[in-house]
């Protein structure tokens, strides 16, 4: 059975540990959440096959900066996590986590994961952020960040609601098996589709002009 090492990084506020615990235990940890969860093996079903993922959680606090690099050797995929409702954790993706990954794991694919998806539309959370002059991170912001740094993909989830949780770990397997920049191919496909649409619109306009021309010619013949 193929096995892959999957390392999780992100600020403490990224809720990555809660995400891992919920996936493993099937319920959200409402009370105590350790700063780092012990390494665990899980089995992920994908495309009618079973894959083993070795989950390595890491500490996001500055105290762990010297220890964290010990987790990186032989890594197949890195999941960089941030909270959709925590601006600082999102900014640190660019300021701290991507530079660290590029330094220690330059050839390893990474996935950008936005957590706490359920809180993006939560009015109480929105009001709290508004008082600080902030707002939830949008899907487009996360996607643009992922594209800018050539992430394998960008995915959002909610551990509390278990929304897209399974997909996060399946995506980790995909990246481990085929570590190409999926988003770049997706972007290329989008460009091709836009080009096709533009061409179709041009053809329709041309056809419309020809029909109008023929109509005018018929009208002239009738007048004559």
Full-model pTM = 0.79
Please give the biggest Cα pair distance in the chain. 92
Do 82 and 150 lie in one domain? The reply is yes
Residue 34 or 117, more confident: 117
Do 151 and 217 lie in one domain? The reply is no
Phi–psi pair at 154, nearest 5 degrees:
-125, 130
Do 15 and 59 lie in one domain? The reply is yes
Structural domain count, the chain: 2
186 found inside a domain: no
pLDDT tens digit string along 134-146?
Answer: 999 999 999 999 9
Do 119 and 213 lie in one domain? The reply is no
pLDDT tens digit string along 6-47?
Answer: 999 999 999 999 999 999 999 999 887 776 778 899 999 998
185 found inside a domain: no
Do 44 and 119 lie in one domain? The reply is yes
> 35 is in which domain, residue-wise?
3-180
């Amino acid at each position: 059975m193929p096995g892959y090492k999957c390392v999780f990084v992100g600020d403490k506020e990224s809720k990555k540990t809660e995400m891992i615990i919920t996936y493993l235990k099937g319920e959200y940890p409402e009370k105590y959440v350790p700063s780092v969860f012990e390494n665990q093996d899980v089995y992920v079903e994908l495309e009618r096959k079973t894959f083993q993922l070795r989950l390595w959680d890491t500490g996001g606090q500055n105290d762990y900066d010297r220890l964290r690099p010990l987790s990186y050797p032989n890594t197949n995929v890195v999941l960089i996590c941030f909270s959709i409702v925590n601006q600082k954790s999102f900014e640190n993706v660019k300021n701290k986590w991507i530079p660290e990954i590029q330094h220690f794991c330059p050839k390893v694919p990474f996935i950008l994961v936005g957590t706490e998806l359920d809180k993006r539309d939560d009015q109480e959370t929105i009001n709290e952020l508004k008082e600080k002059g902030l707002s939830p991170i949008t899907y487009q912001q996360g996607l643009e960040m992922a594209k800018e740094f050539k992430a394998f993909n960008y995915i959002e989830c909610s551990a509390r609601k278990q929304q897209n949780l399974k997909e996060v770990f399946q995506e980790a397997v995909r990246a481990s098996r085929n570590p190409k920049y999926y988003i770049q191919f997706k972007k290329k496909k989008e460009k091709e589709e836009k080009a096709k649409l533009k061409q179709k619109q041009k053809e329709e306009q041309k056809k419309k002009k020809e029909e109008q021309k023929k109509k005018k010619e018929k009208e002239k013949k009738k007048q004559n």
